[in-house]
Amino acid sequence: MNKDGETRGGLIYSTDGGRMCPACRRPLAQCACSKAKPAGSSDGIVRVSRESRVGKSVTVIRGLALESAALNELGRRLKATCGAGGTVKDGVVEIQGDHRDKVMAALCGQGWTVKQAGG
């Protein structure tokens, strides 16, 4: 528990519900609390970052304000560009491995405003 009496950590992803809200622990699509950002909201900037999961790197692309079909198609093209596997979940494209430079170049070439997020 922290000083406010809240517990930190816990469930962040469920195979049944996908990504979970850390505050109310409901799937993000069903979250009604103020701490979760609505899906599909974007400031017009695509953010590309690298995260480590179970000792492996994953390139994460957030901020693509696209419909589901268009996002899946873009994810498919980015995976092909990088020559890697990946997935599209909850408006976020994840590509296996550290491909930030390739992804940023591909998105800039398509006219997106892209920033590298994180370290």
Per residue in 55-86, pLDDT tens? 889 999 998 888 888 899 999 999 999 999 99
pLDDT of residue 99: 94
Q: Are residues 32 and 84 in the same domain?
A: no
Question: Whole domain around residue 27: which residue ranges?
Answer: 8-37
Q: Say whether both 20 and 52 belong to one domain.
A: no
Number of structural domains (the chain) is 2
Write out pLDDT tens, residues 11-59: 666 666 667 776 777 776 667 664 444 444 557 789 999 998 788 899 9
What pLDDT was estimated at residue 53?
72
Verify that 111 and 87 share a domain, yes or no.
yes
**Is 2 inside a domain boundary?**
no
Q: What is the CATH number of the domain that holds 52?
A: 3.30.780.10
Say yes or no: 33 and 47 in one domain: no
In this prediction, residue 87 carries a pLDDT of: 92
Largest interatomic CA distance in the chain: 48
Residues 20 and 69 in one domain: no
